Structure 1
Amino acid sequence: MGCALLVTGTTLWAQSAPEPETSDVVKMEPPKPDWFFVDGGWNMPGTSIFDGGTGKMKGMVETRRLADFAMDPSGKYYYVSETIWSKGDRGTRQDMVSIYDTVDLKLQAEIAIPGRILIGSRKNNFIVSGDGKFAYIYNFNPTSLVNVVDLSRRKFVAEIELPGCASLMPNPGVGFSALCSDGTIATVAVNGTKSAITHGDPFFSATDDPIFDNFTYDKAKNQTIFLSYTGLIYTATMGPSPTVSKPFSIQAAAGIRPGETKPLELNWYPGGRQPMALHRPSGHLFVLMHMGEYWSHKASGSEVWEIDLGAQKVVKRHVLEEPMNNIEVSQSAKPLLFLNGEEGTAVVIDTANWEQKHKIEQAGAGTITVAGAS
Structure 2
Amino acid sequence: MRIRRRTASIAATLSFAAACIGSAHAIEKPEELTVQKLPAWHSHEVFVVDISMPSMTDARIYLYDADAKKLLGQIDAGFAPGFVISPDHKTSYVSTTYFARGSHGTRTDVVEMTDNATLDHTGEIIIPPKHGQHVPSPYNTTFSADGKRLYVTNITPAASVTVIDVASKKVLSEVDMAACVLAYPSGNDRFTGLCESGKALTVTLDANGKETKRVMSDPFIDVDKDPAYINASPYQGGYLFTTFHGMVRSADFRGDKPLFGKPWSLLTNAERAEGWRPGGMQQTAVHAALHRYYVAMHKGDEGSHKDPGTEIWVYDLQTKKRIARWDLSQQKIDAIASVQVSEDDKPLLYGLTGTSDLVVMDARTGKLQNIEKQVGNTSSLLVNP
Q: Same fold (TM over 0.5)?
A: yes
State the match for 1:145 in structure 2. 160
> Number of residues paired by the alignment?
350
State the match for 1:251 in structure 2. 267
What is the one-letter code of the residue matched to 2:267?
Q
User: Counterparts of 1:221-232 in structure 2 under 5 Å?
Assistant: 221-232=236-247
How many Å separate the matches in 2 of 1:28 and 1:100?
Answer: 13
How many Å separate the matches in 2 of 1:353 and 1:17?
Answer: 52
What is the one-letter code of the residue matched to 1:267?
G
* Larger deviation, residues 26-35 vs 353-362: 26-35
Of 65, 74, 87 in structure 2, the residue corresponding to residue 60 of structure 1 is: 74
Deviation by residue 1:146-171 (Cα, 9 ceiling, x = unmatched): 11111111111111011231132111
The sequence identity of aligned pairs, in percent, is 27
Deviation by residue 1:212-266 (Cα, 9 ceiling, x = unmatched): 0111113xx21211101111111122313220110100003xxx4474xxxxx64
Of 70, 73, 77 in structure 1, the residue corresponding to residue 84 of structure 2 is: 70
SS for the counterpart of 2:375 is coil
Counterpart contact for 1:236–1:242, Cα < 8 Å = yes
Of 217, 224, 227 in structure 2, the residue corresponding to residue 200 of structure 1 is: 217
Structure with greater Cα Rg: 2
Does residue 353 (structure 1) correspond to residue 369 (structure 2)? The answer is no
Counterpart contact for 2:358–2:372, Cα < 8 Å = yes
State the match for 2:341 in structure 1. 329
What is the one-letter code of the residue matched to 1:270?
P
Of 350, 362, 368 in structure 2, the residue corresponding to residue 338 of structure 1 is: 350
SS for the counterpart of 1:307 is strand
Does residue 210 (structure 1) correspond to residue 222 (structure 2)? The answer is no
SS for the counterpart of 2:267 is helix
Of 37, 61, 74 in structure 1, the residue corresponding to residue 47 of structure 2 is: 37
**Deviation of residue 132 (structure 1)?**
1.0
How many Å separate the matches in 1 of 2:219 and 2:157?
Answer: 26
Q: Which structure shows the higher helix fraction?
A: 2
Deviation by residue 1:123-178 (Cα, 9 ceiling, x = unmatched): 21111112111111111113111111111111111110112311321110431112
Structure 1: which 5+ runs fail to align? Answer: 1-7, 260-264
Structure 1 residues 257 and 179 mapped into 2: Cα distance closer, same or farther (>3 Å)?
A: farther
**Deviation of residue 41 (structure 1)?**
3.1
* Stretches (4+) displaced over 3 A: 15-22, 256-259
User: Counterparts of 1:221-300 in structure 2 under 5 Å?
Assistant: 221-240=236-255, 241-252=257-268, 256-257=269-270, 259=272, 266-300=274-308
State the match for 1:124 in structure 2. 139
**What's the TM-score, normalizing by structure 2?**
0.86
Structure 2: which 5+ runs fail to align? Answer: 1-17
Q: Which has the higher contact order (CA 8 A, sep 6+)?
A: 1
How many Å separate the matches in 2 of 1:55 and 1:153?
Answer: 37
**Deviation of residue 84 (structure 1)?**
0.6
How many Å separate the matches in 2 of 1:234 and 1:257?
Answer: 21
**Deviation of residue 42 (structure 1)?**
2.3
Counterpart contact for 1:276–1:285, Cα < 8 Å = yes
State the match for 2:99 in structure 1. 85
Does residue 107 (structure 1) correspond to residue 121 (structure 2)? The answer is yes
